[in-house]
Amino acid sequence: MQRNTTRRLFLAALSALTLAACDQIGGAAKPAFRGVDLSGASYARQLSLPDQDGKPRSLADFKGKVVVVFFGYTQCPDVCPTTLAELAQVKKSLGADGERVQGVFITVDPERDTPELLKPYMTSFDPSFVALRGNAEQLKDAAREFKVYYAKVPGKTPESYTMDHTAASFIFDTQGRVRVFARYGAGAQALADDIKLLLNERS
């Protein structure tokens, strides 16, 4: 009886050690992201919108790069410029590896965010950043795919409205798979840490 109990305990311990080893061997250990780990998520898998030049874009265009996607609008007073500025800071801090990071901004205000406005707006943060602008239906489809919220908030005049929207970024690995949900306010260092993990990850 005691021998059987000892044997069961030994086998249970051995099984636990084997499982732990499987998580570590061959690069199978899960990366310790600072943001929310979205690896294997069933959403945010597709993206197809025209850029600021009217050229159709998809995630496949950026394969080989870590892509950071953010939904916002140019007249946003705080969240959007802060997020883009942090991403530009991170890209610059990575030196040569920064060339393997792509910022993608999707406007939730296509009514006011014209191509003529989007181009200089993106350049003011980083010339390599891309802005995507679809029509109302295309934007709705993209937001549904990413499970992103956005809504117009009326202002004092019809033109002075603001936009409520999800304040977070989606980070994709070099194979175009969504991996991290980076909440607004986590800071540039947290964003940099997660991007570095993905840049150094084996495909």
Annotated binding residue 165: yes
Question: What is the DSSP track for 154-177?
Answer: --SSTT--EEEE--EEEEE-TTS-
Lowest mean pLDDT among 9-23, 27-41, 103-117, 137-151: 9-23
Alpha carbon distance 176, 45 (integer Å): 8
Residue 2 pLDDT class (50, 70, 90 cuts): very low
CA distances from 34 to 37, 176, 179, 187 (A): 8, 19, 11, 10
What is the model's pTM?
0.84
| Domain extent listing, the chain | 1-30, 34-199
In one letter, which amino acid is 125? F
Annotation-wise, does 76 bind a ligand?
yes
Query: Alpha-carbon distance 80 to 197, whole Å?
Result: 24
* CA nearest neighbour of 201 among 102, 87, 97: 97
User: How confident is the model over 167-185, as pLDDT tens digits?
Assistant: 999 999 999 999 999 999 9
What is the rounded distance in angstroms from the CA atom of residue 179 to the CA atom of residue 192? 14
pLDDT attached to residue 141: 97
The answer to the question of whether 22 is labelled as a binding residue is no
Q: Which fold is adopted by the domain 34-199? A: Glutaredoxin (3.40.30)
For 104, residues 6+ apart whose C-beta sits below 8 A from its C-beta are 47, 57, 62, 67, 68, 69, 70, 129, 130, 131, 132
- Over residues 53-78, the mean pLDDT reads 96
Question: 110-142 pLDDT, tens per residue?
Answer: 999 999 999 999 999 999 999 999 999 999 999
